Amino acid sequence: MTAIIQYNAGNILSVANALERLGERYVVTDDPVEIQKADRVLFPGVGEAGSAMQYLKAKGLDLLIPRLEQPVLGICLGMQLMCTHSREGNTQGMGIFDTIVSKFPPKGLVPHMGWNNITALSSNLFTGISDTDDVYFVHSYYASLCHETIASTNYIVPFSAALEQKNFYALQFHPEKSGKTGSKILENFINL
């Protein structure tokens, strides 16, 4: 059973649909007890960092998530909130990943929206995936490259497309919107 964390930050339905296509049972919840009981946890998100973190703090989820021991996968805003700090709204993150989230410089079209490949893949999360496979991005902020980077992408600047630290994984792109490649990544996560 997978718990999808509900924190009023978008894209829950598309993530739930992706799990249904894989035959995975899930619950959408912000209940700490249900989250702790789950075999794995998805932490998706679309929206603004500051207000999302306020909701997490109000529910005590900002303290719970970093203590989880089962596999946890952050997606897009979920990934950014798992980092040390986001410059979006000067938001203190959960510090699971030791990197800063910054806004893309105004040298190109922002947000970064559309298909792009991921390179330097170095995790079981990417079993069966190659660096010629494309995934779908929609974001204006990015996590800098760091020692926890397990995949990178270059859009205006090189950035972390994925991060890993112990049982915590995170993707800047949307696997639920990335066709067969994204489905395979979600399947790999379920099978960790």
Domains with residue ranges and CATH for the chain: 2-190 (3.40.50.880)
Q: Cα dist. 169→85, 107, 125 in Å?
A: 17, 29, 8
Q: Does the active-site annotation cover 174?
A: yes
Give which of 127, 123, 130 is closest to 168, Cα–Cα. 123
Q: Using the predicted structure, report yes or no on whether residue 152 has a pLDDT greater than 80.
A: yes
pLDDT tens-digit profile of 89-142?
A: 999 999 999 999 999 998 889 999 999 999 999 999 999 999 989 999 999 999
d(CA 186, CA 42): 10
Partners of 85 in beta bridges: 92, 100
Single-letter amino acid, residue 51:
S
Q: Using the predicted structure, report yes or no on whether residue 51 has a pLDDT greater than 90.
A: yes
Q: Does the active-site annotation cover 176?
A: yes
Given the residues 24, 76, 83, 88, select the one marked as catalytic: 76
pLDDT at 108: 84
Which stretches within 22-161 are classed as H helix? 32-37, 49-59, 61-64, 77-81
Given the residues 24, 164, 176, 187, select the one marked as catalytic: 176
Stretch among 61-65, 106-110, 114-118, 152-156 having the lowest mean pLDDT: 106-110
3 state DSSP class of 19: helix
